């Protein structure tokens, strides 16, 4: 299938993409494209839960304030209010889809996480994302108007310059995607396109993000002419399991929310009192991640300890069955001993600029979820606001497309993918070498604590690699690895350029050269 037309093409099969698909499918033909498997995105990996004001003692104002405090004032207040006020309705819809949230008799069980002033996290044990993904996929699979195609690696948006009758207008008409099985590039054409491709976590050597989080959507939108914003705001989760055999296993924020202590592994000192005496382990993620990073560097440690063994064993196994089972298989009994943890990249707070209708700068393209910068997260995402953003903006995108449907033109004739001047690669080692190099220098030079000199070193490396990758891309047929390398490098450049543009420390961007925070917050907006 090298050419197919639908009403709407959605890139990404996670919470944002499927939420939009289900609403659109009531009247439109929808195509959902997924790189790798349909469950390969970040949604299925989300352990913690979804934040919503559902407790009698909580208010929207409290949730808004907590989000703004975590985001170091860089959030857009209108966006924060927009999302938080729609949270309870999103939870209701998920309940209708059959998501089996934990309950206390007749009401939903609410847990608390770092940065939250109240218990407001609905969850399915410690595997909420998987339960949500399963329910959304089941509903999408049952819809006759939704076609889901796995194994499609998107390369670039189809825009007016790909029309048979060339135009420089820049409207998006779908996407060119590599069929991973056949090796052929397909045209997926539609009146409207929704980008829900996730973040760019794999730019870093240590990350909790899935293997496919290579910044594809952000890089594609940038190349097509969309602005990106606040890419320097990379969230590092404080507690990723330290284990030489198992990489990227996240220990959810809720372990600290339910009483877990962070300890120096040799002295047993509860060190968070030295960094944030009031909030301790419940401080926002950037504060906790920097504290752990400081302990590791100052004392030459490999890891610190996260200890919840002072809680009753039954409490621990009931609240964290997935984590308990995983750790038990590695010889760690979290009911009796501490867990070794290190920080790891966790969430891309910046991304493609969107408004409250989920519209991007590019006509015909909407976007939702981690691929975007909507104004919700600001300089640091509050725990469990990420899935919530997916539901609210996935619905916003679908609603806006339906509202303006009659104004959207039929797609023009589109040129097929041109591979007349390329051959099969005989140098795959180049891709692996460059991939490894990018992730390593981004971790060392543009990580939790930054300096201008380190970031300039990273920018110099990117400039050299960019020429090499562009030459390679222009000479050989595309493969998923090559597409991802190209996007990874583009995402790294956007992160470094954004970080060098911010001459202050705020939220997730902490630089030793500018440790103070400016009085007035400003977004870092890059224009192609």
Q: Give me Rg for the CA atoms of the chain.
A: 22
Distance of CA 183 to CAs 179, 180, 479, 498, 507, Å? 5, 5, 7, 35, 42
Q: Do residues 195 and 367 make contact, with C-beta atoms less than 8 angstroms apart?
A: yes
SS3 160: helix
Roughly what angle, to the nearest 10 degrees, separates helices 128-141 and 386-403? 20
Q: In this structure, how many other beta carbons lie within 10 angstroms of the beta carbon of residue 406?
A: 5
As given in the structure block, the two tokens for residue 500 are 């060098």
Q: In this structure, how many other beta carbons lie within 10 angstroms of the beta carbon of residue 428?
A: 12
Roughly what angle, to the nearest 10 degrees, separates helices 15-24 and 128-141? 30
Q: Do residues 238 and 285 make contact, with C-beta atoms less than 8 angstroms apart?
A: yes
Q: Do residues 380 and 71 make contact, with C-beta atoms less than 8 angstroms apart?
A: yes
Phi, psi of 164 (to 5 degrees): -60, -35
As given in the structure block, the two tokens for residue 27 are 């009247």
Q: How far apart are CA 328 and CA 322, in angstroms?
A: 10
Q: How far apart are CA 354 and CA 366, in angstroms?
A: 8
Distance of CA 449 to CAs 181, 250, 437, Å? 41, 21, 19
**Count H helices, E strands: the chain?**
14, 20
Active site residue 285: yes
Which of 77, 79, 121, 91 lies closest to 396 in space, CA to CA? Answer: 79
- From 120, 191, 202, 285, the catalytic residue: 285
Phi, psi of 277 (to 5 degrees): -60, -30
Phi, psi of 383 (to 5 degrees): -50, 135
In degrees, rounded to 5, the angle at the alpha carbon of residue 222 between the alpha carbons of residues 216 and 224 is 100
Q: Which residues have CB under 8 Å from 142's CB, separation 6+? A: none
Q: What is the 3-state secondary structure (H, E, C) of 269-287?
A: CEHHHHCCCCCHHHCCHHH
Of the CA atoms within 13 Å of residue 415, those in its CB half-sphere come to 13
Q: Which residues are catalytic?
A: 285
């Amino acid at each position: 299938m090298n050419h197919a037309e639908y009403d709407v093409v959605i890139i990404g099969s996670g919470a944002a993409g499927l939420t939009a698909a289900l609403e659109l499918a009531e009247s439109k033909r929808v195509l959902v494209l997924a790189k790798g498997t349909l469950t390969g995105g970040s949604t299925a990996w989300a352990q913690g839960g979804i934040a919503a004001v559902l407790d009698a003692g909580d208010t929207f104002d409290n949730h808004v304030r907590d989000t703004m405090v975590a985001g170091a004032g860089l959030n857009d207040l209108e966006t924060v209010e927009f999302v938080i006020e729609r949270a309870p309705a999103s939870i209701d819809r998920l309940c209708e889809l059959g998501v089996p949230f934990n309950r206390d008799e007749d009401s939903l069980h609410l847990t608390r996480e770092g940065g939250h002033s109240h218990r407001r996290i609905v969850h399915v044990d410690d595997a909420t994302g998987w339960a949500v993904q399963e329910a959304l996929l089941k509903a999408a699979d049952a819809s006759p108007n939704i076609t889901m195609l796995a194994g499609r690696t998107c390369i670039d948006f189809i825009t007016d310059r790909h029309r048979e009758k060339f135009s420089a207008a820049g409207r998006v008409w779908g996407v060119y995607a590599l069929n991973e099985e056949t090796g052929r590039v397909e045209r997926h054409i539609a009146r409207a396109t929704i980008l829900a491709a996730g973040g760019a976590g794999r730019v870093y050597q240590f990350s909790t993000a899935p293997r496919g989080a290579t910044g594809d959507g952000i890089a594609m939108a940038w190349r097509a002419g969309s602005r990106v914003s606040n890419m320097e705001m990379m969230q590092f989760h404080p507690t990723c399991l330290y284990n030489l055999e198992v990489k990227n296993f996240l220990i959810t924020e809720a372990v600290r929310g339910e009483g877990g202590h962070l300890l120096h592994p040799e002295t047993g000192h509860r060190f968070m009192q030295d960094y944030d005496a009031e909030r301790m382990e419940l401080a926002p993620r950037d504060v906790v991640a920097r504290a752990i990073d400081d302990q590791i560097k100052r004392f030459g440690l490999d890891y610190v300890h996260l200890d919840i063994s002072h809680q009753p064993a039954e409490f621990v196994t009931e609240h964290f069955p997935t984590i308990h089972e995983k750790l038990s298989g590695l010889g760690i009994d979290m009911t009796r001993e501490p867990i070794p943890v290190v920080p790891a990249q966790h969430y891309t707070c910046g991304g493609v600029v969107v408004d409250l209708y989920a519209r991007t700068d590019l006509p015909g393209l909407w976007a939702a979820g981690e691929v975007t910068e909507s104004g919700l997260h600001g300089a640091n995402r509050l725990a469990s606001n990420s899935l919530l953003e997916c539901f609210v903006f996935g619905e916003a995108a679908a609603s806006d497309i339906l509202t303006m449907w009659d104004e959207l033109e039929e797609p023009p004739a589109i040129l097929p993918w041109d591979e007349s001047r390329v051959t099969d690669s005989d140098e795959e080692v180049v891709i692996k070498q460059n991939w490894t190099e990018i992730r390593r220098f981004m971790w060392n030079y543009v990580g939790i604590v930054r300096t201008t000199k380190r970031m300039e070193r990273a920018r110099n490396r990117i400039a050299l690699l960019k020429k090499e990758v562009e030459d390679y891309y222009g000479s050989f047929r595309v493969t998923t690895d090559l597409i991802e390398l190209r996007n990874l490098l583009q995402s790294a450049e956007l992160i470094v350029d954004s970080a060098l543009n911010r001459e202050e420390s705020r939220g997730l961007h902490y630089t030793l050269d500018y440790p103070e925070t400016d009085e007035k917050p400003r977004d870092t907006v890059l224009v192609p």
